[in-house]
Amino acid sequence: MENQLLKRITCHPDICHGKPCIRGLRYPVELILELLSSGMTTEEILSDYEDLESEDIQAVLLFAARLSQIKSIHKIAS
């Protein structure tokens, strides 16, 4: 189930500068996270963005949870 959800998150260099997006659409993961953190409900987001599905929101949250499990981040340039 989790793998199926994570397949909804895609990264393509030609879409949103390679940022993780939902299903190749031009909805970056960060946008959905910002909407949720501003207090919007899943239902409100789905109403505003009719081409999204509830599983897309679940995928965004799962993707963010996986990113938060990274043990360390190294600076590669300044």
Which pLDDT score is estimated for 14? 94
- pLDDT over threshold 90, residue 71: no
Cα angle 27-38-6, degrees, rounded to a multiple of 5: 40
Mean pLDDT value of segment 1-9? 93
The pLDDT score that the predictor gives to residue 1 is: 81
21-69 tens-digit pLDDT: 999 999 999 999 999 999 999 999 999 999 999 999 999 999 999 999 8
Q: DSSP states of 8-77 as a string?
A: TEE--TTSGGG--EETTSS-BHHHHHHHHHTT--HHHHHHHSTT--HHHHHHHHHHHHHHHT--------
The predicted-structure confidence for 51-60, as pLDDT tens digits, reads as follows: 999 999 999 9
- Tell me what the mean pLDDT of segment 10-31 comes to: 96
Question: The pTM is what?
Answer: 0.86
Domains of the chain: 2-68 (1.10.10.10)
